Amino acid sequence: MSALQHAGPVDVFKARSNKALAIVLWALAVFGAVVTVAQSGLVGLRFAAPLALMAFAGWALFWRPAVVVSDAGVELVNPLRRIGVPWEALAYVDTKFALTLGTESGKFSAWAAPAPGVLGARHARPENLKGLPASAYGPSQSVRPGDLPQTVSGQAALLVRRRWAEQVERGSVTGGRAGETPVLRGAAWGILAATLVLAAATVVTLTA
């Protein structure tokens, strides 16, 4: 269930690297299941809890997380919770460790948009530093590695900042109301419950 009532065009950002990790985990789970059946027959699937946990983790940790941007605001879909930040509640966008939305209620990071490592920042080119939203620049027009548009956090931050600037230009965002506009939060209880069940089944399987 969405934390925000999205309006207008909706952009959903998911990192390709996260999707690739999910596919790798799914492939390993399928391979493990095939090997188990080949060695023990279908009866061997009763010991498949670890494989099911691996596949589920691929979806919950890497495929599901996203940054959803619309005219209503930004929604962070993290593994165990959703955070909806209306534009009027947003104070700043940071990318030091991951895409982070700063509000009067606190800071909220996006699991789907981690900042780059040292190697990721080294690939920056002069053209990557041009044409970014004004809020992406620091002192002397400096740009933080996490804001570079070729990085995961930079792509997500660019998406957020551009839509935020559009809303300000349209007059859809009223200044001075950051403290009055609540940040919406919801827990993914179903995912937590499924994780606990699969983890318990895995422990039983490995210790039986």
Q: Which of 6-10, 74-78, 173-177, 180-184 has the lowest mean pLDDT?
A: 173-177
> pLDDT confidence of 13, banded at 50, 70, 90?
very high
pLDDT tens readout for residues 50-94:
999 999 999 999 999 999 999 999 999 999 999 999 999 999 999
Please give the Cα distance from 152 to 65 (Å, whole number): 13
As a whole number of Å, the end-to-end CA separation of the chain is: 37
Sign of CA dihedral 95, 100, 101, 106: negative
pLDDT tens readout for residues 35-47:
888 887 777 677 8
Task: Classify each residue of 75-88 as buried b or exposed e, where b means 16 or more C-beta atoms within 10 Å of its C-beta.
Answer: bbbbbebbbbbbbb
Please give the Cα distance from 159 to 149 (Å, whole number): 10
Output the CA angle 100-57-146, nearest 5 degrees.
25
pLDDT at 163 over 90: yes
Output the pTM of the full model. 0.83
